């Protein structure tokens, strides 16, 4: 049986952890929640808000090139940006993740882009709008909320610009890096860029 002292200690610990989590949610650093230097480096790349300059765009990167088979984990450089054109099939919030301190209020928005309207999930690329980029846009009077993006993009041919980024947090969902999903009947999304 728990003594009163242990109950108070447990409750204090729960409240303390809850307060720390709320503090992190409201002040999530660019490194998110990362225990290793590699994870911190990846989170910084994903959370960057610097707009790429003209000379940082890789003209070799197209939707068709991204959809080609091959291990995407090292195929593209995170120091380069890309311009993609394609049909937007869906816009939806992603799950909470370490990059955004597991905050349910700071989630990436996934924009599913394909070469045609009825593309299967294995024929799609995911473009992400991070919470940091939404805040960047909002500071400039631009609404990149999920509802606005969904209303204005789904069913339209659109062009996107942004940094190349292989999202290791979604590697198990990628056709090129985790094709085993097909063997068990799942159809994961295609590739991820931000």
Report domain extents, the chain.
42-193
Task: Write the DSSP string, the chain.
Answer: ---HHHHHHHHHHHHHHHHHHHHHHHT--TT-S-SSHHHHHHHHHHT--PPPPGGGB-TT--HHHHHSSS-TTTTS-TT-EEEEEEEEEEEEEPPP-GGGTT-TTS--EEEEEESSTT--GGGEEEEEE-HHHHHHHHHTT----HHHHHHHHTTSEEEEEEE----GGGGGG-TTT-THHHHTT-----EEE-
Inform me whether the pLDDT recorded for 46 exceeds 80. yes
pLDDT tens digits, 78-110:
899 999 999 999 999 999 999 998 888 899 999
Q: What pLDDT, on the 0 to 100 scale, is given for residue 141?
A: 97
* Residue with tokens 């931000």, as numbered in its chain: 194
For 102-125, what is the mean pLDDT? 90
Q: Which of 107, 154, 97 is nearest to 128 (CA)?
A: 107
- Mean pLDDT over each residue of the chain, to the nearest integer: 84
- Which of 8-12, 60-64, 145-149 has the least mean pLDDT? 8-12
More confident residue, 162 or 166: 162
Q: What pLDDT, on the 0 to 100 scale, is given for residue 190?
A: 46
- Which of 24-28, 46-50, 55-59, 172-176 has the least mean pLDDT? 172-176
Q: Cα angle at 72 between 144 and 145, to 5 degrees?
A: 10
Percent of the chain with pLDDT over 90: 50
Q: What pLDDT, on the 0 to 100 scale, is given for residue 55?
A: 95
Inform me whether the pLDDT recorded for 1 exceeds 60. no
More confident residue, 29 or 191: 29
Q: What pLDDT, on the 0 to 100 scale, is given for residue 121?
A: 83
* Residue with tokens 């394609």, as numbered in its chain: 86
One of 2.60.40, 2.40.50, 3.30.810, 1.10.1740 is the CATH number of 42-193, namely 2.40.50
């Amino acid at each position: 049986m728990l003594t009163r002292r242990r109950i108070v200690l447990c409750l204090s610990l729960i409240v303390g952890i809850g307060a720390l989590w709320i503090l992190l949610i409201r002040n999530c650093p660019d490194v998110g929640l990362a225990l290793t230097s590699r994870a911190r480096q990846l989170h910084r790349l994903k959370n960057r808000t610097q707009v790429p300059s003209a000379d940082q765009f890789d003209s070799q990167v197209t939707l068709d090139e991204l959809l080609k088979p091959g291990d995407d984990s090292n195929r593209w450089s995170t120091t380069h940006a890309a311009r993609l054109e394609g049909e937007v099939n869906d816009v939806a919030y992603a799950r909470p993740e370490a990059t955004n301190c597991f905050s349910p209020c700071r989630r990436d928005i996934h924009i599913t882009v394909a070469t045609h309207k009825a593309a299967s999930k294995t024929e799609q690329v995911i473009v992400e709008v991070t919470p940091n980029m939404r805040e960047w846009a909002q500071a400039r009077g631009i609404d990149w909320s999920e509802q606005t993006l969904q209303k204005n993009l789904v069913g339209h041919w659109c062009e996107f610009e942004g940094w190349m980024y292989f999202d290791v947090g979604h590697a198990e969902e990628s056709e090129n890096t985790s094709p085993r999903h097909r063997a068990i009947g799942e159809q994961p999304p295609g590739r991820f860029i931000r």
